[in-house]
Structure 1
């Protein structure tokens, strides 16, 4: 079975700035200006059709950054990223233009995915019905609640029927009825053997939906394997971390910040 996603030695580096002046210097100076910050370091993994991979890790571990790199939303600083087939990401505000209406966003996003006008017109009623945001479909997205943005983004992403689906916390916003409808559609994709990446802090959802898990710890892969093996170890870590004193937690955070602040090499 051939791979649909291949990542080899992927790094993502940002420059940290404290003022507009430093941002300007970063643009004009060779090599940039500011303190290095590695959001991702040495990420290598592969995924195949039928893989449903959960991304777990505490806030700031790089889950959304990795999701966006796989989706092609942002580029890696170095390393190789290869995807086979159409990729679609579902995040609360992913790919939505706040100045355009919901209907205009449907057309724009579908055009960006390579669909023709006639194809978009055929898909539009299904997208609007699934999103179920009523008259807001013809209002600017800037007037939407977070839940409405999530509903529209999800409806577009699942209707275009991607080969690789990335879901980044999109089901954590909105009502339970829509969440259940969304989960049903995702299980349909799972049954069809699509490649799915699922980012969530809800370990119950990770365990019930995913067959593999990537544990990210401050930009690095701590563990990658069957969900029944990785998640219990991650939960042990969480329990241990929560039991630390404030001083111990501070020391732990300082150590990982040191690792992300330019000591890595690419």
Structure 2
């Protein structure tokens, strides 16, 4: 049985010209926003123990996919099935800015179903891995992006999830910490855990991942073995970089607006399944 399955998954948001337009829609039912699909009819399955790299240029839906994998947000249409507990490591996700680092450890642990005794038991390992010193007792809002990534990574790996989602968390911080994180990810891989690695570092993705999921403006362009998919993605990047600004804008508009009605017709009524 597959460990992670996406079946015709779409995520739709509504964009409003002014904040008051959203309030009017809630109060009076007058739709004034513009629908925007961050993901459109995404389907794939991943077996337990696979390491999947998620690539795509900015705006392709990578972070939205991460949030669905981590149960942070539900799909608008379609079904997501997760075969275990998942944890997201991202620079801007999962930490409360107003709380101290130590308080965030407890909060995240409780949210993941751990008891206070279990949280106390793993706290020393979290502190050692994060290695941020006295800042652990300071509000997270005072942290640099690198320190946030350190703490977020340390908490998530010590909670010991079945599915680990890493969203650009290794793009900040020093090389020593990056290697430390990669070593831990290899340890997780050897334990048979499933890992999704979202990154613009194609060298890291190519060397670490067994498969690649390539997203292009909310849709799956390709999903397959690393070498084959990366070769096609590199060709695409070379082509895309040759476009003029006008050509790129036209291309993006066409990709974004081509299938909204089709999505709504084909996926309306689908059930949502989130299992652990």
Query: Matched residues in 1 for 2:76 and 2:95: separation?
Result: 25
Gaps of 5+ in 1: none
Offset from partner CA, 1:129-148 (integer Å, 9 cap, x none): 10000000000001111111
1:128-207 correspondence to structure 2 within 5 Å:
128-207=127-206
The residue that corresponds to 1:246 in the other structure is 245
Distance 2:225 2:147 in 1: 34
Partner residue, 2:73: 74
Q: Structure 1 residues 94 and 118, CA, compared in 2 at 3 Å: closer, same or farther?
A: same
Cα displacement (A) at 1:228: 1.0
CA distance in 1, matches of 2:103, 2:211: 37
Matched residue of 2:258: which SS?
Answer: helix
Counterpart Cα distance in 2 of 1:175 and 1:211? 25
Counting only pairs closer than 5 Å after superposition, residues 1-266 of structure 1 correspond to structure 2 as 2-30=1-29, 32-259=31-258, 264-265=263-264, 266=267
Q: TM-score, normalised by structure 2?
A: 0.92
Aligned Cα root-mean-square deviation (Å): 1.5
Q: Which moved more, 1:238-247 or 1:164-173?
A: 238-247
With the length of structure 1 as denominator, give the TM-score of the two structures.
Answer: 0.96
Rounded Cα–Cα distance in structure 2 between residues aligned with 1:230 and 1:256:
20
Distance 1:145 1:32 in 2: 40
Note if contact 1:91-1:168 (Cα within 8 Å) is conserved in structure 2.
yes
- Contact 1:17/1:23 (<8 A) preserved: yes
Deviations 1:88-115 (A, max 9, x none): 1110132111110000000000000000
Work out the CA distance in 2 between the residues paired with 1:56 and 1:150. 20
The offset of 1:202, in angstroms, is 1.0
Residue 262 of structure 1 deviates from its aligned partner by 5.5
Aligned to 2:273: none
| 1:236-264 deviations in Å (ceiling 9; x for gaps) | 00101111233322321221232376664
Equivalenced residues, count:
265
Q: Matched residue of 1:171: which SS?
A: coil
1:24 & 1:262 partners in 2: Cα distance? 25
